Structure formats: structure tokens, C-alpha cells
């Protein structure tokens, strides 16, 4: 097995991971902007951004995970779950026209969760700050309601996949949220782990993440769901542990991030690497991350996470 240093320094292939290859972790590459127009395959966009901010060269080759837009919406601009889905479908229609691809549609739609690791100040500034467990109770309730609504529209949005998001500050709260959300899930749905973007910046939360996975992944498999998605995390230790546990429960894994496209433009070398840059250009960087995640089982990051004792029990519904 390669060393951690080797894992971070090997060169990715000159071509993207072949479509026929099943990656260990599937990466949905984010990043709006016309300069990314040539980027095909698995992408992630938000309906909170105008369609005109990006234009794929070959939209028929874009496999899109369409987020809900919850990350961008200020508290006073929050939509209802019905309004969020209407925005997603309207974005799709506009994209099909703007891209000149009449039959195009998203591969998957994300439910309109309420993020608990972002705090907004009265002047409209957003900070990366995790909520308290007590404050997050209402956010978890909104998240469950959003998943229930999207599941109720299953027939209307077929054949798109449904990504039913969960939230929660600690393992007990996120487990309770998952238990409630999974009641609405079918084997074709994905369970989306929200609230973990904070891992890359505050690594002290890793033990909470492990505790959550040890509880929620078995529950997910028992519910018949076969795929889990981790929103906005590109930190290899977290992804490696998630993959190790998912393999033991027969689950496949994906994540999304805009870091492969945007980090290559950071000027300072130290900041570039911290931001996710592993190559000189964004094209090379995307290939590096696709290759690394596709072969994550061959790296030192692929290992069993520690068992974390349960601290408390929560029942929401």
C-alpha cells in the first residue's frame, strides 16, 4: 500500500476516469462559469445560480446532481419545499433551452434541507459556525419535512433520483433525522449526509462524524437504500473512512465539491494545496481528484474508522 505522501503526489492519468469504470467514490464536480464548459460527466450545480453562468459544450454528456439551493439562500429568503422543487425544475427548463438540449434533465434532485453548520448575521454575512443541538432541532424538522415532500413528488419527477438530505449537530441528532427521513425512502433513493463541510476546517468534529456513520449506515442498508452522498466534503481521511464502512454495508458512495475547479486559481502555493489544488490547471486538478477518489481503496485513507461511544439518545418523531 502506498504511503500518504505517495498518495498525494502521484500523477493522475491524462484522460478522465472512463465511464465504464465504477469509481470507489463518485465525484460530482461543482463550479459555475463558462470556463468550465468543456467539463463533462458528473457535475453539481445549484438552482440559486443563474443558468447563464455556465454553458456545457456537450450538455448531453453532463450527468447532473442538482442541489436544492439551500446553501445559498439567506434565512429570510428560504423557500417552502414545494417552492424549492419548482425552482429546480424551472432551472432545468431554462438550462435545456440555453444549452440547446431540448430533452436534457438532471440525473438527481436534492431535497431542501436546512443547513446547521452555517450561521448568518443580521447584516447578511455567512459564517462557518455549527449550531447548538437545541437550535438545530427546528432545522432538523425542516429537513425531514423537505425530504417527505420531495418523496411525495416521486412520480412527478421520475426518472430522476431523489437525494433525501439529513442534518444534525451531533450523532444522536443526525441519527434521529436519518431514521425519520428513511421512512420516506425507497431503494432507488440516495441518503444525503449534510452538515459535514465543516470537517475540512474543524477536524475536531471527525469523531462525531465517525459516530454518525457507525449508526446511520447500518440503518440505511436495513431500509433498502443502496447509495449515500456526502455533501461538499473533499477531505480524504473522511471519505476513506466513509467508504470503508459503506463497503461493509453494501453501499456505494459519492460526494460533490467545487474545490477541484476553483482551487487551481488560488495564487499562494500553501493556500492552493489547502484549498484542494493538486495540479497546475483546473482541468488537471479535476482529473487528479477523479482518479484519486476512483481508486481510494488503494490509499492509506481507506481504513476502518474508530468506534465512538454513544453519548445520548434522541427521538424526533
Residue 43 within any structural domain of the chain: no
Q: Please compute Rg for the chain using Cα positions.
A: 19
Q: What is the pLDDT of residues 163-207, one digit of tens each?
A: 999 999 999 999 999 999 999 999 999 999 999 998 988 889 999
How confident is the model at residue 2, as a pLDDT? 33
Residue 66 within any structural domain of the chain: no
Residue 313 within any structural domain of the chain: no
Q: Please, what sign has the CA dihedral across residues 253, 257, 261, 266?
A: negative
β-bridge mates for residue 76, sequence order: none
Q: How far apart are CA 187 and CA 143, in angstroms?
A: 20
Let me know: does 133 contact 160? Beta carbons within 8 Å: no
How confident is the model at residue 5, as a pLDDT? 31
How confident is the model at residue 1, as a pLDDT? 32
Q: What is the DSSP secondary structure assignment for residue 52, as one 8-state letter?
A: G
Report the chain (317 residues): mean pLDDT per 10 consecutive residues: 33 41 92 86 95 91 95 90 98 95 95 87 75 92 98 98 97 97 98 93 92 97 98 96 97 95 66 69 90 96 86 52
Q: How many domains does the chain have?
A: 1
Residue 139 within any structural domain of the chain: yes
How confident is the model at residue 22, as a pLDDT? 86
Residue 179 within any structural domain of the chain: yes
Phi/psi for 65 (5° steps) reads: -95, 110
Range of the domain at 228: 110-298
How confident is the model at residue 75, as a pLDDT? 84
What grid cell was written down for 213?
Answer: 456513520
How confident is the model at residue 218, as a pLDDT? 97
Residue 245 within any structural domain of the chain: yes
- Give the list of residues 6+ apart from residue 99 with CB closer than 8 angstroms, or none: 55, 56, 59
What grid cell was written down for 115?
Answer: 443547513
Q: What is the pLDDT of residues 43-76, one digit of tens each?
A: 999 999 999 988 899 999 999 999 999 988 888 8
Please name the helix (run of DSSP H) or strand (run of DSSP E) that holds residue 62, with its range, or none.
Answer: strand 62-66
Question: What is the domain-level CATH number for residue 254?
Answer: 3.20.20
Amino acid at each position: 500500500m502506498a504511503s500518504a505522501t505517495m498518495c498525494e503526489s502521484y500523477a493522475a492519468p491524462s484522460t478522465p476516469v472512463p465511464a465504464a469504470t465504477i469509481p470507489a467514490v463518485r465525484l460530482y464536480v461543482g463550479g459555475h462559469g463558462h470556463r468550465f464548459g468543456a467539463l463533462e460527466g458528473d457535475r453539481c450545480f445549484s438552482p440559486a445560480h443563474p443558468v447563464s453562468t455556465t454553458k456545457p459544450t456537450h450538455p448531453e454528456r453532463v450527468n447532473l446532481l442538482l442541489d436544492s439551493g439551500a446553501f445559498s439562500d439567506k434565512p429570510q429568503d428560504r423557500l417552502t419545499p414545494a417552492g424549492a422543487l419548482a425552482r429546480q425544475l424551472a432551472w432545468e427548463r431554462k438550462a435545456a433551452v440555453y444549452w440547446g438540449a431540448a430533452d436534457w434533465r438532471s440525473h438527481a434532485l436534492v431535497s431542501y434541507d436546512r443547513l446547521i453548520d452555517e450561521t448568518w448575521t443580521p447584516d447578511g454575512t455567512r459564517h462557518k459556525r455549527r449550531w447548538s443541538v437545541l437550535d438545530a432541532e427546528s432545522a432538523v424538522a425542516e429537513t425531514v419535512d423537505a425530504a417527505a415532500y420531495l418523496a411525495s413528488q416521486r412520480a412527478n419527477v421520475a426518472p430522476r433520483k431523489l437525494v433525501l438530505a439529513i442534518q444534525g449537530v451531533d450523532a444522536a441528532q443526525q441519527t434521529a433525522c436519518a431514521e425519520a427521513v428513511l421512512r420516506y425512502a425507497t431503494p432507488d433513493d440516495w441518503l444525503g449526509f449534510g452538515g459535514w463541510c465543516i470537517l475540512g476546517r474543524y477536524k475536531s468534529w471527525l469523531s462525531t462524524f465517525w459516530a454518525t456513520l457507525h449508526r446511520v449506515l447500518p440503518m440505511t442498508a436495513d431500509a433498502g437504500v443502496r447509495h449515500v452522498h456526502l455533501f461538499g466534503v473533499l477531505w480524504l481521511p473522511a471519505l476513506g473512512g466513509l467508504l470503508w464502512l459503506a463497503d461493509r454495508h453494501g453501499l456505494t458512495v459519492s460526494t460533490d465539491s467545487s474545490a477541484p475547479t476553483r482551487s487551481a486559481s488560488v495564487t499562494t502555493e500553501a493556500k492552493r494545496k489547502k484549498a484542494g489544488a493538486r495540479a497546475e490547471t483546473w482541468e488537471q486538478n479535476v482529473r487528479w481528484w477523479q482518479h484519486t477518489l476512483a481508486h481510494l481503496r488503494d490509499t492509506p485513507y481507506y481504513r476502518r474508522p474508530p468506534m465512538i461511544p454513544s453519548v445520548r439518545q434522541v427521538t424526533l418523531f
